[in-house]
Amino acid sequence: MRLGIAVLLAVLIAWTLPHGAALGQAAGVKVIVNGVEISLSAPAVLSGGQVMAPISGLFEPMGAVAAFYEADRTIVISNRVRTTVRMRLGDPTLYVNATGARPSPVAPMQRGAQVFIPVQAVFAALGAWTKYEEAERTLYVSSQIKSVVTQASPDALQIRIDATGPMRVETHVLSSPDRLVVDFLHAALRTQEREIPINSAGVTRIRTAQFQVKPYISRMVFDLSQPVETRVTTSPTSYAVTLEVRPKDAAIIAQPRPPAPGLGERERAKIAGVTFQESGQAGRLFIDATGTMEYRVREFVYPDRLVIDVQDAVFIPVKQEIRVDGESIVSVRAAQFTAAPPVTRIVVTLKRKMNYVVSQSDGRLAIEINEFTARGHLVALDAGHGGRDPGAIGPTGLRESDAVLDIAMRAREMLQRDGIRVWMVRDSDATVELADRPLLARDAGATILVSIHANAHTRTAVNGSETYYLTPQSLALAQMIQDELGVVLGIPSRGIKTANFLVLRDSGIPTVLVETAFISHPDEEARLRDNTFRQRIAQAIHRGITRFLAIYPTPVAP
């Protein structure tokens, strides 16, 4: 009898796996995308030589988003450069940009609530490099560098590096001889390794190469004839990184600074401290030392940070922390990171990815942190109903119009704190005609429109959150907001759905309608009265919006 039960259990477990996946393959298959190990919502498995994994969370490190469109059993993946991959459950075909069809080794499939896709095939269709390491049971996915274009003048050298996905950048300055080294992390170089003569703007030549293959690191080395400043800029509409190298501009570092300590050993810089000057959305960080510094600037994510390591440097204060709490920058921390060899580390914690300029002169390292251009958006928030239309009314009399206005105002505050412009369809208990709302948002120049509501049903037991969209350009926004609601609210997530609502139909921009909770459900009405619950809803909407703007910053109207 025990043997029969064991066999039956094994059969049932195998049935829950994608076809073709052995039971022993169900555990321990990892997926690492651009250096980020994905926290999978269900175990990845192998089928037909492909890693099959659930779509949730897979694509954001590659600057893309995915959603399952339940009505027609379609999976849609899209990225910042408008590459769109569509698949249907059970169909081993990838449809790329609505025109190109290519075979897939395995068809996507659904087991329970999870939708599994062939990971290598989909990432390859997006232009990524993939490799499954069988000994490690790990799938690695990286962006690929497609081209390197230089443009030189006596005053500046500009290099544009185009890739198929996001790249994290590290800059190093080395001496003997003087070099600027730029590393592109988790990026495979698909251009020919080469030397590029420059002889301009303080640079004699550039060398490009695949520096490392596990993980992939592409490297550019600038041989210098004089000190330079370096500006690193990322594009909000593509995956390009632009490097601008100029002969050192003293104006950037001509700021008041504390007296430098007496000259010490040349090979070991002594850092007197760091100072930070907040400036609007961003600011300037100054590191003062006894002499020239060799340094490395790196970018980290989750959360976004700039990390500056100064080599062979003793940090005299030992530790220093500057609380900023600005619109873009949280804090600056500096400390003696290691003693042998001595390395001083400065960490700038950001609220979002930022561009930066680095320069050095006379014992001062200056990092100017710039606005990230995706924040040029205008977000329209529509608090549903209002005025003579109270919306749904809960069992104890809570009006939908009052609850959602408070949530919208909280979301506005968070977005504005991030430096994102917000336009409110209404910011008081005013009447705004339903047909006017999407048109007003569009006329205001909004990039996206989020309409906030509380749901209702004749059966008071129905509860949970859900988000509606109509057009393909709105799907990713709906998915991101609903993902965030599902994480923080502690109520059932009813997923994303389509509906021919007027507010979704007539705006011409990415638009979603968020049903935060069921006001007709006694427990959820009580939660909607609670300020903490409203704050969580606002935080989820805020996070969904900022995720969308960061990954898909300039949506195209249909």
Kindly indicate the confidence band of residue 130, based on its pLDDT and cuts at 50, 70 and 90: very high
Do 402 and 477 lie in a common domain? Answer: yes
Rounded to the nearest 10°, the torsion over CA 93, 98, 99, 100 is -40
Asked if the bond preceding 395 is cis, omega within 30° of 0, the reply is no
Do 285 and 194 lie in a common domain? Answer: yes
Kindly give, in sequence order, each residue whose CB lies less than 8 Å from that of residue 344, ignoring residues fewer than 6 positions away. 271, 309, 310, 313, 314, 315, 334, 335, 336, 337
pLDDT, one tens digit per residue, over 469-482 is 998 778 888 988 98
Mean pLDDT of 86-110: 89
Q: Does residue 263 surpass a pLDDT of 90?
A: no
**Is residue 256 one of the residues assigned to a domain?**
yes
Q: Report the SS3 class of residue 8.
A: helix
Do 400 and 366 lie in a common domain? Answer: no
Q: Does residue 459 surpass a pLDDT of 80?
A: yes
Question: Between 100 and 60, whose confidence is greater?
Answer: 60
pLDDT at 556: 44
Q: Does residue 264 surpass a pLDDT of 60?
A: no
CATH number, domain with residue 197: 2.60.40.3500
**Is residue 504 one of the residues assigned to a domain?**
yes
Q: Report the SS3 class of residue 135.
A: coil
| Polymer length of the chain | 558
Residue with tokens 């059993």: 73
Q: What's the CA gap between 134 and 111, in Å, rounded?
A: 25
- Residue 116 phi/psi, 5-degree rounding, is -100, 140
**Is residue 13 one of the residues assigned to a domain?**
no
Q: Does residue 392 surpass a pLDDT of 80?
A: yes
pLDDT at 10: 37
Do 188 and 329 lie in a common domain? Answer: yes
Domain count, the chain: 3
Beta bridge partners of 450: 381, 512
By C-alpha distance, which of 442, 508, 438 is closest to 473?
508
Q: 134-168 burial by CB neighbour count: b if 16+ within 10 A, else e? A: eeeebbbbbbbbeebeeebeeebbbbbbbbbbbbb
The residue segments making up the domain with residue 390 are: 377-551
Q: What's the CA gap between 104 and 171, in Å, rounded?
A: 39
**Is residue 137 one of the residues assigned to a domain?**
no
Do 330 and 351 lie in a common domain? Answer: yes
Q: Does residue 550 surpass a pLDDT of 80?
A: no
By C-alpha distance, which of 218, 216, 223, 200 is closest to 208?
218
Do 329 and 382 lie in a common domain? Answer: no
**Is residue 556 one of the residues assigned to a domain?**
no
pLDDT, one tens digit per residue, over 168-206 is 899 988 888 899 999 999 999 998 888 999 999 999 999
Of 309, 340, 373, the last residue of a domain is: 373
Residues 395 and 407: beta-carbon distance below 8 Å: no
DSSP letter at 186? T
Do 360 and 444 lie in a common domain? Answer: no
Do 109 and 229 lie in a common domain? Answer: no
Mean pLDDT of 389-414: 96
pLDDT at 557: 43
> Residues of the chain with pLDDT > 70: what percent?
88
Of 126, 160, 178, the last residue of a domain is: 126
CATH number, domain with residue 400: 3.40.630.40
**Is residue 433 one of the residues assigned to a domain?**
yes
Q: Does residue 555 surpass a pLDDT of 60?
A: no
pLDDT, one tens digit per residue, over 311-367 is 889 999 989 999 988 777 889 999 999 988 899 999 999 877 788 888 887 778 888
Q: Does residue 538 surpass a pLDDT of 60?
A: yes
Q: What's the CA gap between 550 and 509, in Å, rounded?
A: 16
Kindly indicate the confidence band of residue 89, based on its pLDDT and cuts at 50, 70 and 90: very high
Give the range among 25-34, 56-65, 210-219, 267-276 with minimum mean pLDDT: 25-34
Q: What's the CA gap between 498 and 476, in Å, rounded?
A: 12
Kindly give, in sequence order, each residue whose CB lies less than 8 Å from that of residue 102, ignoring residues fewer than 6 positions away. 93, 94, 96, 125
By C-alpha distance, which of 454, 440, 442, 444 is closest to 407?
454
Do 408 and 524 lie in a common domain? Answer: yes
Of 349, 373, 397, the last residue of a domain is: 373
CATH number, domain with residue 51: 3.30.457.10
Q: What's the CA gap between 421 and 51, in Å, rounded?
A: 41
Do 157 and 111 lie in a common domain? Answer: no
**Is residue 235 one of the residues assigned to a domain?**
yes
Kindly indicate the confidence band of residue 27, based on its pLDDT and cuts at 50, 70 and 90: low
Do 366 and 382 lie in a common domain? Answer: no
Q: Does residue 98 surpass a pLDDT of 70?
A: no
Do 115 and 60 lie in a common domain? Answer: yes
